[in-house]
Amino acid sequence: MKIRIALLAAALAMPTLAQKLGDNAALRYWSAFAVMQQETVTPAKAKELNAVLEGHAPYQDTEYRDLIQRNREALETLHRGAQLAVCDWGVDYALGPDAPVDYVRKALGLGRLNVLSVFHLLQNGQRAAAVERLAGGLRFARHVGQGGSLFAALAAKSLIVTHLRTIAFAQNTERDGLTAKEKSLLLAAADASDVDWREALRVEFEVSLRPATKEGQVLAAEYLAALADPTRLAALQRSITTAPKALASRVPKPERVLDEQRDLAGHRQRVRTLLGAR
């Protein structure tokens, strides 16, 4: 009898397990990367495109609409993935520093294409779709940083800032600004899009740097503490200076990480104020 009950319970649990495994946003994102087409983005074109995304150059629809059209399927797949709560990139951390993390580069490209598509939609009067893409892009950006090392965190931060900047652009350039509903949607997405810097540095130390010595472990603990409490920065910098050269030369500069943290918080606060958050 007990065996029957156990078998029944296992049978009932199977679909749930299968559903959970399939509900991984990273799987959708990998599908999106597979159909992403950026071959025509030459280094010169990439430079122009980055200038547009940073607000240093105007968006020219005639220049980019073909690129956006070619990547429509990839972008739609991205947004289906961004609806999911769970994102596990499945990095093989057992490989240590040799673990492939190509998804970060691909995500950077796709995330930037998403922002470009927002400009395209705004310029063609499709504001509701543009707002959806901004909210979805912010969720995607947060997913990019999840479970990764510092480089993934930096990529996530870069994508979040680019999306926040575009929200400000939409609010400032759209006639009468965004609606209350649109603002509410974007505020929720902006508030939810954060980067876990401590987790990123933990991965950096444990997987990428593998500080086997006690000094290394102490340094890692000091680093994580300094991220939470910047008053410990000076002590951490001294510890890095006196650490074995092989380790010290591979430790990211903590002041740069803190700068990135502050920069992201500043961008988010500006957008919150612009959208009238209380």
Partner 1 sequence: MPHDDFDRYLAGFVPLPPDPLPAPAPSKRWLVPLVLAAALALVVWRLPRPAPPASAREVTFTLGRANAVVVAGTPWKTALDEAAFSGRQVNRGSLEFLTQEELSR
Chain residues that interact with partner 1, rule: CB under 8 A: 38-39, 41, 43, 45-47, 49-50, 91, 95-102, 104-105, 108-109, 112, 149-152, 154-155, 158, 204, 207-209, 249-253, 256, 260
Least Å distance between CB 109 and partner 1?
5
Least Å distance between CB 181 and partner 1?
32
CB nearer partner 1, residue 99 or residue 233? 99
CB nearer partner 1, residue 38 or residue 117? 38
Give the span between the Cα atoms of 278 and 140, in whole angstroms.
Answer: 25
8-state DSSP, 160: H
Least Å distance between CB 204 and partner 1?
7
Q: Please, what's the b/e burial string for 222-261 (b: 16 or more CB within 10 A of its CB; e: otherwise)?
A: bbbebbeeeebbeebeebbeebeeebeeebbebeebeebb
Least Å distance between CB 192 and partner 1?
22
Concatenated DSSP letters for 6-37? HHHHHHHHHHHHHHHHH-BHHHHHHHHHHH--
The answer to whether the beta carbons of residues 216 and 209 sit under 8 Å apart is yes
End-to-end CA distance of the chain: 59
Task: Tell me the one-letter amino acid at 180.
Answer: A
CB nearer partner 1, residue 12 or residue 44? 44
Rounded to a whole number of angstroms, the CA Rg of the chain reads 21
Question: Helix, strand, or coil here: 84?
Answer: coil
CB nearer partner 1, residue 58 or residue 100? 100
CB nearer partner 1, residue 39 or residue 176? 39
Least Å distance between CB 233 and partner 1?
17
